[in-house]
Amino acid sequence: MRTIFPALLVAALLLCACSPGLGFDNLQGSTSYSALSDSLSITVNPLNLRTASGAQARPCTGSFAEHELPHVTGTAFERVTYFTSNGAGLAVGDLDNDGDEDFVLANLLGPNQIFWNEGNWNFRPQLLLEGSLRGLALVDVDGDGWLDITATSRTGNLLYWRNLGSDPGPTTFASEQEPARLLGVSGFAYSLQWGDLDRDGDLDLVTASYDASLEKQIGRRALDATDQNGVFIYEHANGRFLPTRLASRAQGLALQLQDLNGDRRLDILVGNDFDVHDAVFLGQRDGSWPAADPFATTTFSTMSFDSGDIDNDGRLELFAADMHPYSKEPEIMRQWLPVMETMPPPSPEDAPQVMANVLQQRQGDAWSDQAETWQIPFSGWSWSAQFGDIDQDGLLDLYVVNGMTAMEIFRHLPGDELVEENQAYRNDGGNRFTPAPEWKLNSTAGGRSMSMADFDGDGDLDVLINNLRSPSQLFENQLCSGRSLLVDLRHPGSGNTRALGAELLLHTSTGIYRRSVHAAAGYLSGRSARQHFGLPPESRIIALEVRWPDRVLSLIDGRSIQPTSLLTITRRAAHKD
């Protein structure tokens, strides 16, 4: 480990500021940036690289190796019904601040568990609470530097476990068996996202309900009488959360925070199941959230959202997953046939909703669906789908988990289950994704939530999946291809210590790679704030740009950055006399 002191960074910042081609000029819109008056420190930790020999050596098989976890998301009855079939979530983050990625697995019936990363693929489970959770996100709600656990429940309530830290002793949480409520948060919640929506320096909350499930539990009339369903934002102010209802109805399986119109403000995307159209709310300077309709085409049943710069042009694409057979093989079509017969007829090409995946790509001032062009229109009965540079060649790949169990629609199949392979797609650099079965990520265990992170400290992305009624899985990346850079952002003393909403651009000799810091992605899946950049072997780092959520810009000279390392960038307020 080595630390680059702030005095050195001043020189690096001046050097980068004078270099041509740097900055966010290639992104949409315009804005002004504050000069960097705070001090930065950078800690560099080398990664635990695979070697050809030695005690730490692990095999380079060219594929992924499965590790089965002692966690099964259970159901109350042997035959699974709608909504129970939706499964439960997961979240990834460093809960004990020891540098390793820990994770939490939710459950519908059975223990929700924290898995503490003790190194060398050893994960110690700890009971958090017995059932019945849905979505998860690990965020520092109170700004004390420790990640807290936030979760939505099957009854629609949002739960909160405050991390008390580990100074001294093991990390503990307040009221582990009786989670607290966030003051002011009372609406029904199925999916959740966190970000600094009002730019006041702390974290605000966005939630969406899943009304179809709630109607089954309490009835439509009772649900309407509560005025607690739909889409809510909760602005964090003086220790409590102030609610604003943006929509009175939602089938919200997915939420995304992303700047859609280039004004440098976070906008809200709500991915709705069934025939409820996806919703978009644009963040305004005056604090209002008008509805908008920026997309000509959206998915009919939106299961998952994720964004990423898949062509390295500096602009983010948005992927929405739907459900449709991934193959026309007779046996697969036979399994799907009863479901397909109950679905509405195919939509015309100009229809606003399609029963297929949608890849929104910015072309000029408009968005257009390019899923067919990129050859990812159909991926199965898809749940969590996320981008990540799996093979570390500088291009974001795509991974989708699949499967469905429901007696109402699959009683013609053994166990009422549609058994499907998860789909891994390699970005080939020619505006196309190609299937990558050689990676051996084609599990048929019934995945629901999924996230990627580096769990063994070797720099590449591993994959965590919470299945329904099958053991959860960790897939160890043994491709041993390319190199990487991992980046942690820290802003202690602020209300957003993990810099949620920040944008990073890594300038290299082989291209410019963009990443965004989010609390969650995909379906019911909390994402690590640690950013992963895959690098081809010949790539040389020129500079790293960080645009913090408050629009302060940091520029760091590439000579201060070594590949195959974890870079922790800590921003502290400048001392004032």
275 vs 353, which has greater pLDDT?
Answer: 353
Q: Which domains does the chain have, with CATH numbers?
A: 64-477 (2.130.10.10)
**Start-to-end CA span in the chain (Å):** 32
Tell me, rounded to whole angstroms, the distance of Cα 93 from its chain centroid. 12
Q: Residue 475, SS3? A: strand
pLDDT > 90: percent of the chain: 78
Other Cβ atoms closer than 10 A to 496: 26
Q: Once rounded to an integer, what is the mean pLDDT over residues 122-146?
A: 94
Radius of gyration of the chain (CA): 22
Give the integer Cα–Cα distance in Å for 94 and 528. 8
Q: Residue 131, SS3? A: coil
Give the residue from 527, 569, 523, 529 showing the smallest Cα distance to 546: 569
Structure tokens at 320: 């929405």
* Alpha-carbon distances of 409 from 341, 343, 345, 401, 473, rounded to whole Å: 11, 11, 18, 20, 27
Tell me, rounded to whole angstroms, the distance of Cα 147 from its chain centroid. 16
Mean pLDDT of the chain: 90
Place of tokens 């006399």: 577
Confidence of residue 155 (pLDDT cuts 50, 70, 90): confident
C-beta of residue 393 within 8 angstroms of C-beta of residue 536: yes
**Residue 224: CA count within 13 A, CB half-sphere:** 3
535 vs 351, which has greater pLDDT?
Answer: 535
C-beta of residue 192 within 8 angstroms of C-beta of residue 150: yes
C-beta of residue 281 within 8 angstroms of C-beta of residue 267: yes
pLDDT in tens, 212-221: 999 988 898 8
Q: Once rounded to an integer, what is the mean pLDDT over residues 391-420?
A: 96
Give the integer Cα–Cα distance in Å for 477 and 396. 15
Structure tokens at 501: 């909403």
pLDDT at 22: 45
pLDDT in tens, 289-317: 999 999 999 999 999 999 999 999 999 99
User: Is 14's pLDDT higher than 70?
Assistant: no
Q: How many residues would you count in the chain?
A: 577
C-beta of residue 72 within 8 angstroms of C-beta of residue 469: yes
Confidence of residue 346 (pLDDT cuts 50, 70, 90): low
pLDDT in tens, 220-270: 888 888 899 999 999 999 989 999 999 999 999 999 999 999 999 999 999
Give the residue from 131, 8, 155 showing the smallest Cα distance to 83: 155
C-beta of residue 482 within 8 angstroms of C-beta of residue 395: no
Amino acid letter, residue 225? A
Give the integer Cα–Cα distance in Å for 422 and 404. 12
Tell me, rounded to whole angstroms, the distance of Cα 494 from its chain centroid. 23
Pairing of strands 231-237, 240-247: antiparallel
Structure tokens at 413: 């199949």
Confidence of residue 344 (pLDDT cuts 50, 70, 90): low
Q: What does pTM read for this prediction? A: 0.93
Left if phi > 0, otherwise alpha if psi is -120 to 50, otherwise beta: which for 498?
Answer: alpha
- Those residues whose C-beta lies under 8 Å from the C-beta of residue 327, and which sit 6 or more positions away, are none
pLDDT at 479: 98
Pairing of strands 423-427, 397-402: antiparallel
Q: Once rounded to an integer, what is the mean pLDDT over residues 78-91?
A: 94
pLDDT > 70: percent of the chain: 89
Confidence of residue 36 (pLDDT cuts 50, 70, 90): low
User: Is 502's pLDDT higher than 50?
Assistant: yes
C-beta of residue 303 within 8 angstroms of C-beta of residue 521: no
User: Is 154's pLDDT higher than 80?
Assistant: yes
Confidence of residue 124 (pLDDT cuts 50, 70, 90): very high
User: Is 563's pLDDT higher than 60?
Assistant: yes
User: Is 169's pLDDT higher than 80?
Assistant: no
- Those residues whose C-beta lies under 8 Å from the C-beta of residue 214, and which sit 6 or more positions away, are 156, 188, 223, 229
User: Is 53's pLDDT higher than 90?
Assistant: no
Q: Residue 309, SS3? A: coil
